Amino acid sequence: MTEEPYRWLEAIGNRREYVREQLKGGSPVFAASLPDGILLLGVGTGHSKVFELFDRHAIAGLGHPADIEKIRQAAIDAAHLEAFNRAPEDVSLRRLVGFGLSPQLKTNFEQIFSAPFLVECLLAEVGAEPNQDLIARLHFDGAFQLHTKGVVVAASQSEAESAAQTWLNQTLAGKADRNGIVEALLEAWWCVTENKPFGDGLPSDAERRDGWRKAVNGRSIEVGWLVRKSNRRARYEELTPALSSL
């Protein structure tokens, strides 16, 4: 009897290790709050990684496609029900993540006899002004952090994620050129996937540029754009074709 809690703790520890191991090869995703909107980027191999959720909301995720799909569907269901029963303006990312997705993920993670969600994701909400933007970094165990500015990264390795995020926020501070930002995100994507350091030993500009261009061969770059000012309710646009100029 007395050893039961320890067995549970061990089981949870094993589960965490298992999920991290499964997510290891995942391709990181990015969200950047810019003056004109929020840009989301992912590099996929057949399966989409960036999706529209609701009028001002989008998601980008890495992990098992079926689990990304479950999270995406749950968020879409919740957002549309909320918008229909109340109003579209009442759909908020803080509530969607804090009261909807996060508790579901935590419950699932702690039910040790069911399969865990193999997913790490970013959810974004574009505001009327840049300081009203919200980007949520949601983890497989339901933990989440809310960011109101800058670039947020979701990767399978927390150290690489943190290093990439710090480097991107320093590199892109004050920049608004969308193509330049996409280029920097892809450089960071290449560094994370190739285990390159972001501090000392960071590959040169030329190496990073060549690196990501070679690495995306056979993969698809997806860029989602939540435009801030628009007459349309739905603010999400796919920018992928516009990348041809890169």
Tell me which residues touch another protein (CB under 8 A).
48, 51-54, 73, 76-77, 80-81, 83-85, 232, 234
Query: Angle, to 10 degrees, between the axis of helix 205-215 and the axis of helix 178-193?
Result: 80
- Rounded distance, CA 52 to CA 80, Å? 12
Q: Which is nearer to another protein, 229 or 232 (CB)?
A: 232
Give the rounded distance of the alpha carbon of 219 from its chain centre.
Answer: 18
**Residue 232: CB minimum distance to another protein, A:** 7
- Tell the smallest beta-carbon distance from residue 188 to another protein (Å): 27
- Among the listed residues 230, 222, 191, the one whose alpha carbon sits nearest the alpha carbon of residue 208: 191
- Please state the closest distance from residue 218 (CB atom) to another protein, in A: 22
CB of 111 to another protein, least distance (A): 18
Dist CA 92 CA 71 (whole Å): 16
* Residue (214 or 232) nearer to another protein, CB: 232
Residue count (the chain): 246
Give the nearer residue to another protein in terms of CB position, either 36 or 237: 237
Shorter beta-carbon distance to another protein: residue 88 or 130: 88
Helices (H) and strands (E) in the chain, counts: 7, 10
Residue 54 or 189 with smaller CB distance to another protein = 54
Q: How far is the CB of 59 from another protein (least distance, A)?
A: 11
Distance between first and last Cα of the chain: 62
